[in-house]
Amino acid sequence: MPTILANGQVFIDGKLQRTDIAFDQKIQAIGKNLLGEPVDCLGKIILPGAIDVHVHFRDFNQSHKEDWQSGSHAAVRGGVTTVFDMPNNDPPATTVERLQEKRRKADASLVNGKIYGGLSAENVDQIAEIAKVVDAFKLYLGDTTGHMIISDRALQKEIVHRVAETGKVLAVHAQRGGIAPEEITAHEAKDLQYAIELSSQFKAKLHLAHVTTRAGVETILDAKRRGLDVSFETCPQYLFFTTEERSKRGAFMKVNPPVATAADRDFLWEALRAGKIDMIATDHAPHTIEEKNLGMEKAPSGLPGVEFVLPLLLDSVNAGGTSLEQLVKVCCARPAQRFGFPKGKISAGLDADLVVIDMNLRKTITRSEIASKCGWSPYETMTLQGWPVMTFVQGQLRFRS
């Protein structure tokens, strides 16, 4: 018998509607007087499950930081029902065999696990075969955790050409690394422009990761006006933190690319309200407290975030910083559209990935309640209004507060 989410307000076609939803693995019907097992959602709103297209669930030799079980538990607590995991694991996810093993781990998690295929000098000839077992590809033009950077320009072209032939989305880390944080953010627009021009030569479906600055966003918007096939994401850390927090919090605010200026942060919020941001992804990159305590020079880059992206944005909706419509676009609809999955909106026949929200619930983020295995969050001590209270993944109740 189907489950019925009853008496709530459901986000459908850009607005909240007072109606009910019947579902098993798929959404069966939307309306009143539906047959099934009712779950009372009076006073709550119901959204599509969030889709995070940029996480690092570690696993393999780094499972002490995170694995698919702990990472997916954090995700569903935060209303995230689908994640795309990056390939810079230890060892890197660049072979068919390793990617198949990763797929098995993802399929056993609490969420819909999608995976990126890593690109390297050693697997260029296998790109067509790898495409059969991955959901998208990831190319590193800038250095990052795992040292998967591709610097040879001829090799970059060959890789982009071969990925374009598969029809898969090519996500690119374009921003350079290894220099002072202020220089990285100053050069972001130039780095993004290079990736845009490279992909346009072969008509690749380009997705640009973790865009940080006003100049970077404006570069991408210009490419869109020229008709180029490009999408991009920004991340919560760039909406909520600036260089001021980095100077205060040291390695616990060390992230690649680094947080930018207050002016850049304010522009990102303006762009979000104006509908110019394609997606918000977390770049959930958990490292242990012990590793972060090594200090700014030695600590690895990365911040955990999958658990709190939706509460952070729901709090902003409550405060008038953005709208519920924009939240659903950047966290649900556009990621699903770009990567080609039957998710991201509430409609009969689509996957029953649903999150029930209490917009009045206020909670403070405390370390003791964090689900991520890394055990800390840059958002600790923040009090937010608007939290998931139930999360369903393909019709299965995966979290209830």
Q: Are 107 and 68 in contact (CB under 8 A)?
A: no
229 is catalytic: no
Beta pairing partners, 280? 234
Residues 67, 264, 283, 353: which is the catalytic one?
283
> What is the rounded distance in angstroms from the CA atom of residue 70 to the CA atom of residue 161?
36
User: Measured in whole angstroms, how far is the alpha carbon of residue 162 from the centre of its chain?
Assistant: 25
The torsion angles phi and psi of 354, rounded to 5 degrees, stand at -135, 145
> In degrees to the nearest 10, what's the CA dihedral of 222, 226, 227, 231?
-20
> What is the rounded distance in angstroms from the CA atom of residue 219 to the CA atom of residue 324?
27
- Encode the chain in three state secondary structure: CCEEEECCEEEECCEEEECEEEECCEEEEEECCCCCEEEECCCCEEEECEEEEEECCCCHHHCCCCCHHHHHHHHHHCCEEEEEECCCCCCCCCCHHHHHHHHHHHHCCCCEEEEEEECCCCCHHHHHHHCCCCCEEEEECCCCCCCCCCCCHHHHHHHHHHHHHHCCEEEEECCCCCCCHHHHHHCHHHHHHHHHHHHHCCCCEEEECCCCCHHHHHHHHHHHHCCCCEEEEECHHHHHCCHHHHHHHHHHHCCCCCCCCHHHHHHHHHHHHCCCCCEECCCECCCCHHHHCCCCCCCCCCECCCCCHHHHHHHHHHHCCCCHHHHHHHHHHHHHHHHCCCCCCCCCCCECCEEEEEEEEEEECCHHHCCCCCCCCCCCCCEEEEEEEEEEECCEEEEEC
- What residues are annotated to the active site? 283
